[in-house]
Structure 1
Amino acid sequence: MTSEVSTPRADRRLRRARLVTLLSLAGGVWATVLLPAVGLTREPHAGRVALGAVGILAFAATQTAVLYAAVTPWLAQRWRRRAQLALAVMAALTVPLVAPVAAGVWPTWAWIGAALVGMAPLVVRLPGALAVTAGTLGVSAAVAWWTGGPVGRSLAVTGGIGVAVAAVNWFQVWFWDLLVEARQGQAAQARLVAAEERLRFARDVHDLLGHSLTVIALKAELAARLAPVDPARAGREAAEVQRLAASALTEVRESVHGYRAVDLGEQLQAVAEVLRSCGVRCTVPSLPVDLPQPAATELAAVLREAGTNVLRHSRADWCRIRIDRKENVARMTVTNDGADESGPDAHSHGLRGLADRLAAAGGELRVRRQDAVFTIEATVPVPS
């Protein structure tokens, strides 16, 4: 039932949740070893005690391997199958090794059967788990009959305790799977934001160049036709082609550098919605009414990068965005908690590119970290 999709190993919060889940599952597994071990204390024959101890410990070890695979999504499938096969083989070997221990006095193998039933939902799907449970109950009854113990007691231990253990194990691994899927969804949201921005830029470039290049092509063709019959007019058309080409080049450069009109309010809403969908509390500020379009465009670029950093490089619970204007300076501050030590700093490629861009416009980008709080502050000049 565990997801097969690769999970980022560097996510500290997810690693801690995985460790807690693994320790909880392992604690339950090794607790089940104690009850079969009671039979070892009631067995007078030393040889049976030794064989029983080997069987119990080997079975517990293979259980641990299967549990590790269940909460390790990046583990190769072949290792997962090997762990499951080892558990199946060891479960079969416990019958001759453990069943004779404390025969008729303590249901030693019935407790092994309960642990096996408890592991079934982690190894196979529901129909298979039901089949494993039915088979284990049959073996438990046969062992009780063979060793002279009460069949009803063995079935109660294997069935009742086994189903309870299965429910607990299934719930813990199911909850872990939810955490993995949520983290993968958060990463997908960050990738989606970047992809949407690339598509927007591609559409802008297409809109800019499509019309200009069509007109340039038509006028160049006209100039070529006029050159033999009307050189003066052909020269004027060629000059117009040159003007149009220069204009198109200017527009492309402005688009690449983000100087075209960008709705900062829409950017704020989009970033806030993405953050909220990933569980980050975010409030949208009101924009200064007198913020010029060039300044808004520069701040929108910083906002997009800051929002992406919150999703990719932190485990933030909250994010605060503030935009204001004081005299000839527009300022935006983006602050979030949960900053990861391996996250962006002032020298990251995205932030360095923004710093260069703002510097070209006469602005400045500042980055600071205080404990787990990360702050990006951007300032751009505003004409009086």
Structure 2
Amino acid sequence: MQPRVPRTRVIATAIVVMSLVALGGTLVPALWYEMFTRQEPGRVAYALLSVTGMLALYGRLLWGNLMRRTHPRHRVGLAVIAAISCLLPAVLGPVWAAALVMPAGLIPLVLPLRAAVPVTAVGALGITGYGLLLGLPTPTVVYEFFWFPFAALSGYISYWLFHVVQELREARAELARAAVGEERQRFARDLHDVLGHSLQAVALRAEVAERYLDRDEERVRKELAEIQRMARDSVRDVREVVRGYRATSLRTELDGASAVLSAAGIRCRPPQGFPDLPAHVHQPLGWVAREAVTNVLRHSSATWCRIEVTATGGGVRLEIVNDGAGRRAAPDGGSGLAGLAERIAAADGEFTAGHRGDGTFGVRAVVPVESPRHAGELRAEGAG
């Protein structure tokens, strides 16, 4: 099962916390040395204040840049972190050499990329010369020379992946809105094609009738009769459009579900090869499929949707499960699900929908192939 992608703030918080834990962990040996080996209150206080201030400022800058709240003063904050990281080994000794790499991860976030690359290269060379000047061991200096650009690259990759996930989430929401909007436009276009010509013709006939109102009653009567006929034809055409739009079947809905969900970035593979079903089974299950897929698009943050059609005990079971309902669904299940329950009950079937223990949301409908009501209708037709 693919894990659900958390919200943007949750991901940003996780990145900040993990970064601070990782950076703080590199300084724990030096801090432990000051507190439990040297045990000089002045040095311990200086170390604690420096580490606390540096990590707090680091976390603030990282959070602001992840949330795109950039500001020119962030460069001042980066300079302050660099100054503290350089002072720690100078004041407290070589045991604090790891602090020299602290500002590296923020360089590609605070500075533009075209400036971050040369600054990272200068920083790697700078801490190498500074470490030699302080008398740090050669292996430590070499290690930090390679560690500095690696830390900068790691910060940039985290920043880039964070915003890629955010943009993909926004793109998927936009695709879902586009899919719903496209269906509305299709219906509006069909309705316009049906009514546009008819209503224009009715208007012209009414103008003709008005023109002959005082001169030729027979012509007016004929025009009014024609207007009535055209109006009835228009009503019939509209009913046919609405009936075609509202009529559904399980096979039709499943054929379109995969394409619509895939366009919205939701993995879905519809079932293949299920047998032909009678109309009284196809239509209610088709309504279930349509409403369930619509709910996945409109009301969830799903990454996958599973659709299963199986034969069970003289009936057909349709089950649609997705991983993105969360807690955003209405507590009462919503009017759409209530309508589905009524439709399935009318077909002598069973309907359930709700959250499951594994964090998914499922819709399940079972319709008998030979319901008592349908069997009675067949007997009545045979007797006729």
Bin for the TM-score computed over the shorter chain: 0.7 to 0.9
| 2:19 pairs with 1:25 | yes
- TM-score after normalising by structure 2: 0.73
1:60 is aligned to 2:45:
no
**Unaligned runs of at least 5 residues, structure 2:** 379-384
1:197–1:314 Cα change, 3 Å: same
Q: RMSD over aligned Cα, in angstroms? A: 4.4
Using the TM superposition, give the Cα deviation of residue 30 of structure 1 relative to its aligned residue in structure 2, in angstroms: 1.5
- TM-score with structure 1 length normalisation? 0.73
CA–CA separation in structure 2 for the residues paired with 1:302 and 1:260: 13
Do structure 1's residue 81 and structure 2's residue 81 form an aligned pair?
Answer: no
Q: Which of these residues, 213, 217, 221, is aligned with residue 199 of structure 2?
A: 213
Of 227-236 and 58-67, more deviation after overlay is shown by 227-236
1:308-327 → structure 2 map (5 Å cutoff): 308-311=294-297, 312-313=299-300, 315=302, 317-322=304-309
Match of 2:91 in 1: 101
Return the alpha-carbon distance in structure 2 between the equivalents of residues 83 and 364 of structure 1: 65
Kept in 1, the 8 Å contact 2:252–2:286? The answer is no
Aligned twin of 1:375? 363
2:62 aligned partner, one-letter code: L
Counterpart secondary structure, 1:375: strand
Per the alignment, residue 382 of structure 2 pairs with none
Partner of 2:381: none
1:348 aligns with 2:334: yes
Q: Give how far 1:220 is off.
A: 1.7
Where 2:155 maps in the other structure, the secondary structure is helix
> How far apart in 2 are the matches of 1:296 and 1:228?
58
Note the C-alpha offset of 1:290. 6.8
- Report the counterpart of residue 195 of structure 1 in structure 2: 181
Q: Is the 8 A contact 1:366 1:376 kept in 2?
A: yes
For 1:288-367, what aligned pairs fall within 5 Å after superposition? 302-311=288-297, 312-313=299-300, 315=302, 317-322=304-309, 333-338=318-323, 339-344=325-330, 347-352=333-338, 358=343, 366-367=351-352
SS of 1:305's partner is helix
Q: Deviations over 1:48-81 (max 9, x none)?
A: 553343222211111122333455xxx4x44x43
In 2: Cα distance, 1:20 partner to 1:353 partner:
41
Instruction: Structure 1 unaligned segments of length 5 or more: list them.
Output: 1-9
State the partner residue of 1:6: none
SS at match of 1:319: strand
Contact 1:29/1:63 (CA < 8 Å) preserved in 2? no
Change (3 A) 1:204 1:238: same
Task: Judging by fraction of residues, say which structure has more helix.
Answer: 2
**Tell me, what secondary structure is at the counterpart of 1:209?**
helix
Quick check: 1:239 aligned with 2:220?
Answer: no
Residue 17 of structure 1 and its aligned partner are, at CA, apart by 5.4
1:124 pairs with 2:119: no
Deviates more, 1:271-280 or 1:229-238: 271-280
Q: Distance in 2 between matches of 1:363 and 1:212?
A: 42
Secondary structure of 2:167 counterpart: helix
- Cα distance between partner residues in 2 of 1:59 and 1:126: 23
| SS of corresponding position for 1:81 | coil
- CA 1:317 to 1:15, structure 2 compared with 1: closer, same or farther past 3 Å? farther
**Letter aligned with residue 209 of structure 1:** L
Residue aligning to 1:5: none
